[in-house]
Structure 1
């Protein structure tokens, strides 16, 4: 995080950006025709919210390295927390395509804003809903859905990232409680979280899920500083020093690595959609800039190389849109596999990063300023390419699925 004084005056460049969000949606293959009215209504609501609440402030917050925590309540009000969780538990009761569309519109605003919602819904509400007891569902989910509680997800450790099975965080039974020890790293929302869904090994070496509440003695969540990416999202650690957790806080419905991996699949699915939003924002800005910027007596859009860049960008965006939509239809039927989700996450995030880089070139020198969203998206996408499974790990997941051979070990 930046050490810039958060009370410092906002520069005129940021003020200029804050006054205007000229985004126009691009749908070259009329994918909109594949959506139903509920999908379109959800998209319109989120898009309007992003234009009003995110676009005017995001450049300033990102520049300062500050999380706009006041947006959590708004995210809850527009149904971005747990869109596919049943309404009776505080979710939106929507289908998987609606969930994806919401993530796409949020990431058009900023990857960090999408991360707020993605973690809350896919990595906190989802495991409690799927693996929790009815008492846990009733206790936590409505408060998470309303934004009263903020949650985080503890899986990655300082020495165990791509290999979560090697985790050393552990729980041991002690009367009517468990004693939790260990540490987690790179945890979105952790310094603000009221609860953490943490994965740890029991005395038999079996991975279990446990709900840890803020204020439990021995539990701390220090913030990670110095990030140059996802600067409008808060990230930290989770540290457990003999934390006594009631047995009632253990998620009873799952044993083993399949628990956290299923949560990651849910989050990766949302990222596969979300990355398209960042790409669309970069493409839209590049297209408009190329039409308005005059060089050698004509718009940049009139030059062959510029048209090549723009045509390739919209082609790759369109392919990603179709991939996400097909994945969504499979997910609605319960047929989407983790390997299919990995393919979509890997492809669409890499696509978005490539689009951001091409858009930066079209903007020339202006592309590195905060008057345009390009560099912010580009820096954010470098993180999105890595988290919830790295670019190469997802390639190996697909490789194992098509060959039957495990290249991880």
Structure 2
């Protein structure tokens, strides 16, 4: 199943796909050399937008959810990647503790935990789920419609180690974005690996830092591939927080104007007839803070007065990248999952309406696993660009790995141990 594009501007994206296929050996060598110098995030999910004339990541999660949407055919990839990741970190690992988001409620959250348990259990680990939610006082079993169940127990700290009763893990896998900041229970651990590290949480992380790192990666990759890095990069500007509301809004207006100006120049350069728009996101918070779409800089005061701006004094203004892909008439946004340095699968986030592709995760979205026309997920050299699902997925995977590499730069820049040495 290859989604079709509703735009006539399919030439550039097919040319980009062909360039990546032709340069596959050089691309893979480029990544190998990068991973010799940088440690990949333990796992990520990367939201992509395919506008027909460019393909760009618009969000990179370091605590990815939605693993239960992956197909059974993708599970071996995830298990092998989990094995490789754990072997690098703790070859003698036996026990793994998964720390989920607080306030587990929805069946999808529970199904997500069940899938992560399955992946790491098949990778050869004893896996249990321990919550740091202070409201969870006793072990609770959640049932799924397919008969599976997930037991969630209160995490315990004994001296400087975190675990459960009669369960002492050497590795702790965070699947919790830590919106309230690093909890004391997870700080200063003794001989336990915490993945991802605490600085991956939103009290430290900044979207603007990630986009700067991604732009650096994109420029170097674009030079290697011989393309304009704008074809894989959304133009972004951060609005520095001022001490007063007036100063904050002044900075936001400047960032909006800069972004619109640069995008219009690129549209003119490439002969793109679409009307540009920007997306305003909280720079220092996850998706729960919301996003705002702005199609004209003159409408910013209205956006502010209506209370639609994200609840933050720190904003990122990002070039809006339309989603021109459709599956069965629904908007289809690719989401690519990685673990260690490997792409392990992907899904389409489907929207029945016409408001998707605007940088937000609209309510009412559904998820459809990326399906393949062939029994293999390897790219097929020689196929016409756009005609092969594995080829299109290879292009998605390359851009997702660029975002993953940018995240590794980002984590290095905020590593407390590295900052102490600086």
- TM-score higher than 0.5: no
Higher relative contact order (CA 8 A, sep 6+): 2
More helix by share: 1
TM-score relative to the length of structure 2: 0.27
More strand by share: 2
